[in-house]
Every structure is written in structure tokens, then in C-alpha cells.
Amino acid sequence: MPDYQHHWKDGTSIHLPLGKIVCVGRNYAEHAKELNNPVPDEPLLFIKPSTSAVHITRPLRIPADQGEVHYETELAVLIGRPLTNASASQAEAAILGYGLALDLTLRDLQTRLKEKGQPWERAKGFDGACPLSPFISADKLAVDNIHFTLDIDGHRQQTGDTRDMLNPIVPLIAHISGQFTLLPGDVVLTGTPKGVGPLVSGQTLSLELEDLLFVETKVV
């Protein structure tokens, strides 16, 4: 939404504009299987508009009368340098920080769109569809060994690890930069592990990135 601003865990603003939000579908094989989707041969990319971003700690307001809204917990990568046709080393150097995101999805609508062979943006790009956490500086984490979790009402629902990604982060970002330029302030959502499901009013979601970041939000 218009008042979203990137910021660090300590509350300090990151003085970069929010750009596009590039999402990667089916980057964990077990998640593809749970939705009966084929595993793609190359990264499956789509974009959420900047207006879908909200601060994750604010109450999650899910759309009414549009069917189930599913949560998909993802590692978010904040881009700090322009990238076009980047090498792996250039892509890694451009990672400014890591955070967590919820790729909220109107699942019933997405299913209908897929059946018609149409793009997913109507199901993925609504206002509030991308709750984002604060970011942790990239030098605090090892890119190929990052662990994150989601609990709902105290029960573990999703566990993700970058070691399980079909397309690891650095080559993934390099690949994306070959399709379209990434700019400082852009965010890449790197895919969700298995365990997705519907959100219900009253639920409390707790997300953790290693032992460095913990955020909580409530569905209203």
C-alpha cells in the first residue's frame, strides 16, 4: 500500500523505493506436488505490484467473498544494486538483505485462471497480497543455508530451507536479471515450501528467520 517502506529489523528505514515484487512459483518440489502441479523446467516467474505490499506486523485483512485465501511463506530478498544479465557474483553482491513474506493467494480464483491458461495476477496482486517483514543485512546469513518457519496458532505449518530450493537464490536472481532488469528496492520472493493452506479470521501467524528475526500477525 502507499505507506509501505522497507526497513531494517531495528526499525531504521531503508532509503530505497519499493519497486516490483518478483515471485517464483513452484521452487520447492514438495509444494508443487501438494497442489498437483508439474515441476517447471526453468524458474516460473510472475510479478506482484508494489501496491500489494504491506507491513507484515499489521493485521492481515483478507478479501471477502472471493473464496479461500491461502498463505504461502517465502524468503524475501531485497535487491540493492541494478542488475541486467548479471553473473552469479554480481547477483550475490546485489543482495542487500533478507526478510520474510506471505504470498497471499486467492486460491479458488487462481485455480480457475490456471484452467483457462490465463495469468495469475488477479489472484496474486490484490491490495495487501504481499505482507513483508523487516529485513536482515545479507552479511548475517549464508545464502545457501537459510532456514525459516511459519506457525499458526502455535502449530508448525511450514518449514523452509534454501538447500531445498530447485533454483538456488544466487543463480535464480541472475536468471531473473536476464529476463528483465532488477532495480534497487525490488524484492524477490523465492518460493514457498509445502504446507500452504487457507487463512481464517482470528488466526495468529508467527514467522521466524533463523534466530535473527521473529514477526507475528493476526488475521482479521
Q: How far apart are CA 5 and CA 58, in angstroms?
A: 13
Classify residue 6: in a domain, yes or no: no
Classify residue 11: in a domain, yes or no: no
Residue range 93-122, pLDDT digits in tens: 999 999 999 999 999 999 999 899 999 899
Residue 184's region, left for phi above 0, alpha for psi from -120 to 50, else beta, is: beta
Q: For residue 173, what is the enclosing H or E element?
A: helix 169-179
CATH number for position 65: 3.90.850.10
**Tell me, what's the pLDDT at 36?**
67
Classify residue 43: in a domain, yes or no: yes
Classify residue 128: in a domain, yes or no: yes
Classify residue 194: in a domain, yes or no: yes
Residue (of 99, 171, 97) closest to 130 by Cα position: 99
Round the CA-based radius of gyration of the chain to a whole number and report it.
16
Classify residue 149: in a domain, yes or no: yes
Spans of the chain below 50 pLDDT: 1
Classify residue 4: in a domain, yes or no: no
**Tell me, what's the pLDDT at 1?**
44
Domain that holds residue 108: 21-218
What is the residue-wise DSSP string for 58-122?
Answer: S-B-PPSSS--EEE-EEEEEEE-S-BSS--HHHHHHTEEEEEEEE--EEHHHHHHHHHTT--SHH
Classify residue 158: in a domain, yes or no: yes
The number of beta carbons lying within 10 Å of the beta carbon of residue 47 is 17
**Tell me, what's the pLDDT at 35?**
67
**Tell me, what's the pLDDT at 39?**
72
Q: How many domains does the chain have?
A: 1
